[in-house]
């Protein structure tokens, strides 16, 4: 029981850095998308029908100078609810991103493994899949990190720059550096604690 707890603790420590790596990758992709904001806006305007610009005169409601106690209580409840909801979102969204990224990468590796085994004229056995899938996961992580850098570099060819190119590239390379560092820590800890590759996120 104690041995199992130690093994699980080692996996948790290693996969904590893996989780940070996925989170950093998501920031990379978010940054890359941000660089194409002007292009996305232009495409959105092209496909969106022209809205009716008729102006409706605002109707002024009669106001009361006396504060309503029920309105104050309701406003306080709304504010507290919004604060709690914001805290929940800040906690939930990163966890959702991490779990989704891990699932996509590992499922993609599991789906590609049989195809590669067939190309290599190897048998599609569980043992061969277990050996190949973790290598594919590493390969997919590298693609996940490097693609936003390429997208950031290509953003210089957009007619209307959202962010100055050198700033865009500097931030993109920094984020990629963090992503690589987190995954390197993950695999280094995995190797140090003799954790199976298939158990690493």
152: left (phi over 0), alpha (psi -120 to 50) or beta: alpha
Instruction: Look at residue 70 in the predicted model and tell me its pLDDT.
Output: 76
Instruction: Give the start-to-end residue ranges of the domains of the chain.
Output: 24-39+98-195
Residues in the chain: 201
d(CA 144, CA 137): 10
Instruction: Look at residue 48 in the predicted model and tell me its pLDDT.
Output: 72
Instruction: Look at residue 97 in the predicted model and tell me its pLDDT.
Output: 79
- With CA atoms as reference, report the closest residue to 152 among 29, 15, 1, 7: 29
Instruction: Look at residue 94 in the predicted model and tell me its pLDDT.
Output: 78
Instruction: Look at residue 68 in the predicted model and tell me its pLDDT.
Output: 74
**How would you write the pLDDT of the chain (201 residues) with one tens digit per residue?**
555 576 688 888 899 999 999 999 999 999 999 988 878 777 777 777 655 555 555 555 555 555 578 777 877 788 788 777 777 776 777 788 788 888 888 888 888 888 888 888 888 788 888 888 889 999 999 999 999 999 999 988 888 877 888 999 999 999 999 999 999 999 999 999 888 888 888
Burial class, 65, CB count within 10 angstroms (exposed 0-12 / middle 13-18 / buried 19+): exposed
3-state secondary structure the chain: CHHHHHHHHHHHHHHHHHHHHHHHHHHHHHHHHHHCHHHHHHHHHHHCCCCCCCCCCCCCCCCCCCCCHHHHHHHHHHHHHHHHHHHHHHHHHHHHHHHHHHHHHHHHHHHHHHHHHHHCCCCCCHHHHHHHHHHHHHHHHHHHHHHHHHHHHHHHHCCCCCCCHHHHHHHHHHHHHHHHHHHHHHHHHHHHCCCCHHHCC
Instruction: Look at residue 172 in the predicted model and tell me its pLDDT.
Output: 94
Instruction: Look at residue 110 in the predicted model and tell me its pLDDT.
Output: 86
């Amino acid at each position: 029981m104690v041995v199992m707890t130690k093994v699980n603790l080692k996996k948790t420590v290693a996969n904590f850095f893996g989780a940070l790596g996925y989170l950093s990758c998501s920031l990379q992709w978010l940054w890359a998308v941000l660089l194409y904001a002007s292009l996305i806006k232009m495409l959105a305007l092209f496909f969106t029908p022209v809205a009716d610009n008729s102006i409706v005169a605002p109707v002024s409601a009669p106001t009361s100078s006396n504060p309503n106690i029920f309105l104050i209580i309701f406003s306080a409840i709304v504010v507290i609810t919004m604060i709690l909801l914001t805290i929940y979102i800040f906690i939930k969204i990163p966890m959702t991103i991490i779990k989704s990224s891990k699932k996509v990468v590992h499922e993609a590796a599991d789906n590609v493994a049989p195809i590669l085994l067939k190309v290599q004229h190897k048998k599609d056995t569980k043992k061969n899949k277990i050996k190949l899938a973790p290598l594919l996961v590493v390969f997919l992580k590298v693609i996940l990190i490097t693609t936003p850098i390429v997208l950031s570099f290509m953003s210089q060819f957009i007619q209307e720059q959202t962010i100055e190119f050198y700033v865009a590239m500097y931030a993109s390379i920094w984020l990629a550096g963090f992503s690589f560092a987190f995954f390197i820590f993950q695999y280094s800890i995995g190797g140090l604690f003799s954790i199976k590759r298939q158990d690493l996120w």
